[in-house]
Structure 1
């Protein structure tokens, strides 16, 4: 069985932290941590991943628990091309990788990324000239490249997944150019992990063509299954080649939300997409799906691996993770308290503190709208909390575009801990915060990811926030009290005498709109 939500707390506890840091102000979400010294120390952290196919630098910044990609650059070097035959790094790839490292070192200095950590994986660790390459990088850039073994690569990739889904469990599969790693995660911990030679660059050199590769992949996969044991839960796919297949799956399905992180597939969808790939030329796939030439040429071999992987482990479902080894390196530096926090809530708090007109009002607004969702499950309440924190961060946008901008920002932002349907729910709630309508023709098909109840809840939440935003004397002052009587179809608003002057014509109109959405009669009390 797979948990209905990856972030669902264990034992009914409504906090991701088991350390009791609930606090009287923040209810089940604990006090904000992004300003703590341990979190501030993670600002502007840079990591470099020297892989078999690409060399990438990422500089993280923002909320430490759910950091933004301050800078992200990848160079396709193919260091591992021809490694099986020569035993050495691809000479042209080595030149390109060294050039990339020089550039990255200069960029990091300019960005004040004082902490710059670099790791190298399969190609460098297996090549006879790998140590020479590491020494050359150090001499020319001052960057120490740590060459890690396969099991450590698997552990870091699994930690990257945990950065986005603290409560996730299942099997992580990270594919690079020259290797494939598996790791088991459960209860926020990394368990068994193994490495193999099933990277597409290395598989190209297997003798016997497609038939020889098929036999080799089957034999290696069987050995991996013996080591890992049954893995019937979720399969998390990490790596650019997996993401290329997912992008093709999106195009084949006409999927409306082009966000690869947390994209879901099942075994049938994968089989259909592999057939779709086999029926088309590489050039056609590259043009229609927007995949680079260096990446697309590896897709057919990667499909052979994926087909056998799914056949062997029979996962319940499949999730694509854009988080991997680089995010795992950041996760490595986090305290346990920070690791256990909800990445969505921490990111929303950071955005409110940075961009809202009245930072801190999100908590007050959450308390105001919460009575409308008394029976909501914990998964829904965290989305309500996030919406209240984000309700005012786009105020600088032109009023004619503010609603759509909110929707775009949330549905396409780099946020962890959000299923695609939850992204759309959050975006729709914020759209209703600024616009008195439920849908928009600019986003065809995207609202099909929600059912009727989700659509209604997002509308009610948005209109409740729209009302609450009219009643904000101070960030920490109670703005009123909403009470919903669902059976009686009654909505009561209680205001203090101090708040009554704020309840003007526009606020009354917004209350009426909220009541219509709830199909309830309104009573206003001043006391």
Structure 2
């Protein structure tokens, strides 16, 4: 369990190896850009926050006609990210993990913006889905608050979306994301200052209507007798807690972690805020710069969520998405001995859930995945130089490569791309999902081509190279189980660089099977593999031996 030690110190399960490391995490939110720099101290084990940065950029202030991110806003964001990089370098951060959420996710030119960030700053930003954002928020809260093995509800009100999570010490049960946020609703629904009665009534009704489905999902996953507390994170909720604390205590508390705000007091604040102009709201003690413009919409979202959930108070947690990004990175890089079973298998569980949804023949897909990974391992550092992260993407593509049959047998590889691309694969970034979908797309028919829109959608040249090379391995793996009966027991690869010959030795599962269809299929599919790696593929059927099966 990730439990609270102090305000900025978090206890973490025993790491697999001992090493102090400094990394930074950046969250490109709809309202603000945030960064935390942390020191991972494996001897405690713990991580501590050594720097925080924030800049209100308003990525959510998009062009009303096109939905695009505005040029001047993108300029501000890139300038802010450049400053963040300088700060991270000052603290000798070895890497910066950056994620973008709803504003960039929804903008038609969002990927162009991320490509510009990559070109101008050399910073790779991962686009994450709403559910993936919710999962990392859960990890962040779990890192900063003791759950005592009890279920908790978590609400994070951002600028463009609101995440609602139900989870306990072991796993999140419900992950939801709704397209309502403080910046979005302010821009779309509020035109008067102070807000008119008509607009206020509509704002309340709209927020409630949008939240109903998420709340229903959370309540449906509660077990009999459970009454979880509600935890709130991020700017809107922290601001409401701060102005409430300032008024009650007469001073600003050193930490908002654990501060409780009652629904009764929240309703009082909503009624007060709705009567004030923006200028008057800025004068409230504790109101941060620029937050006054959007605080009413955020407060209404929280009020309606609490009312629908039937809770009387909310507890503030200062940990959220950024810290969740840190924890997720640590889990992925083996810095935490993962005692949370769900987290260690989140990717696998998510992929298998989609496989079940699309009625995939898992026995066949498992064999294909096993062959693909076997070829990957045997050709690593010989034909390719990809690592564990790319290996995981190949596995996911192999499991899901046939999901397009759910739509139609004809051109099913293209349907597979569409279904994977639009699936909620938790644990993966949007870029990774795009890579998985493309690898699956090219398991048959033509090789990747720049004229293909899906191939052009890949963010970088490296991503396109991953797809081009790993999809050829998947092609061979699919051919090895051509009849889908497990005719091949295993494969052995031999590469002779001087003669550029690549031998694929296949071992049959049964002594009387000549594997003719598999051999034909390998011969039919080998040209793409040969062209990609500049080798001559020679396939041989080895004699059946009992030792293979023993």
TM-score of the two chains, using structure 2 as the length reference: 0.52
Q: Does the CA contact (< 8 Å) of 2:24 and 2:36 recur in 1?
A: yes
Q: Quickly say closer, same or farther: Cα 1:123–1:33, change in 2 above 3 A.
A: closer
User: Superposition RMSD on alpha carbons, in Å?
Assistant: 2.9
Q: Distance in 2 between matches of 1:252 and 1:33?
A: 36
Corresponding position of 1:226: 216
**Which runs of structure 2 are paired with 1:38-437 in the superposition (5 Å)?**
38=17, 40-41=19-20, 43-61=21-39, 63=41, 66-82=46-62, 85-167=65-147, 169-206=151-188, 209-229=199-219, 232-254=227-249, 257-315=253-311, 317-332=313-328, 333-334=330-331, 337=337
Distance in 2 (alpha carbons) for counterparts of 1:331 and 1:258: 24
What TM-score does the superposition give when structure 1 sets the normalisation length?
Answer: 0.54
- What is the deviation of 1:315? 2.3
Question: Cα deviation per residue 1:351-372 (whole Å; 9 max; x = unaligned)?
Answer: xxxxxxxxxxxxxxxxxxxxxx
The 8 Å contact of residues 13 and 336 in structure 2, kept in 1 or not, is answered as: no
Query: What secondary structure sits across from 2:34 in the alignment?
Result: strand
Give the distance between the partners of 1:290 and 1:33, measured in 2 at CA: 33
Label 1:34 to 1:192 Cα distance change in 2 as closer, same or farther (>3 A).
closer
Deviation at 1:296, TM superposition (A): 1.6
Deviation at 1:279, TM superposition (A): 4.8
Tell me, what secondary structure is at the counterpart of 1:229? helix
For the residue of structure 1 that corresponds to 2:308, the secondary structure is helix
Q: In 2 relative to 1, CA 165–339 (structure 1 residues): closer, same or farther, beyond 3 Å?
A: farther
Report deviation, 1:62: 5.5
Shift of 1:108: 2.2
- Taking a change above 3 Å as real, the CA distance of residues 66 and 299 of structure 1, as seen in their structure-2 partners, is farther
8 Å CA contact 1:331, 1:339 repeated in 2: no
Structure 1: gaps (5+ residues): 1-5, 9-31, 341-527
Hey, what does 2:353 align to over in structure 1? none
Instruction: State the distance in 2 between where 1:238 and 1:39 align.
Output: 31
Residue aligned with 2:231, SS: strand
Aligned to 1:478: none
CA contact (8 A) 1:83 1:123 kept: no
Distance in 2 (alpha carbons) for counterparts of 1:69 and 1:7: 15
Name the stretch that deviates more: 194-203 or 120-129: 194-203
1:61–1:67: 8 Å Cα contact kept in structure 2? yes
Write the distance in 2 (CA, Å) between the matches of 1:33 and 1:161: 13
1:34–1:63 CA contact under 8 A, matched in 2:
no
For residues 187-246 of structure 1, give each alpha carbon's deviation from its aligned partner in whole angstroms, at most 9, with x where no partner exists.
332221111111122112435733332222121111222222256421111111111111
**SS of the residue 1:44 aligns to:** strand
> Helix, strand or coil: the match of 1:202?
helix
Kept after mapping to 2: 8 A contact 1:250/1:258? no
C-alpha contact (below 8 Å) 1:66/1:163 kept by paired residues: no
Distance 1:316 1:94, change over 3 A: same
Q: How far apart are the structure 2 equivalents of 1:58 and 1:66?
A: 15
Q: CA offset at residue 103 of structure 1? A: 1.9
User: C-alpha distance in 1, partners of 2:270/2:25?
Assistant: 33
Give the drift of 1:330.
Answer: 1.4
Residues in 1 aligned to 2:12 and 2:168: alpha-carbon distance in whole angstroms: 25
What is the rounded CA distance, in whole Å, between the counterparts of 2:14 and 2:315 in structure 1? 32
Q: Tell me if the contact between 2:3 and 2:143 (Cα under 8 Å) persists in the aligned partners.
A: no
Look up the SS of the partner of 1:214 in the other structure. Answer: helix
**Corresponding pairs, count:** 312
Separation of aligned partners in 1, 2:207 and 2:15: 48
Tell me if structure 1 keeps the 8 A contact 2:145–2:317: no
Contact 1:60 1:67 in 2 (8 A): yes
Aligned to 1:499: none
Change (3 A) 1:192 1:155: same
Distance 2:213 2:63 in 1: 23
In structure 2, distance between residues paired with 1:241 and 1:39: 38
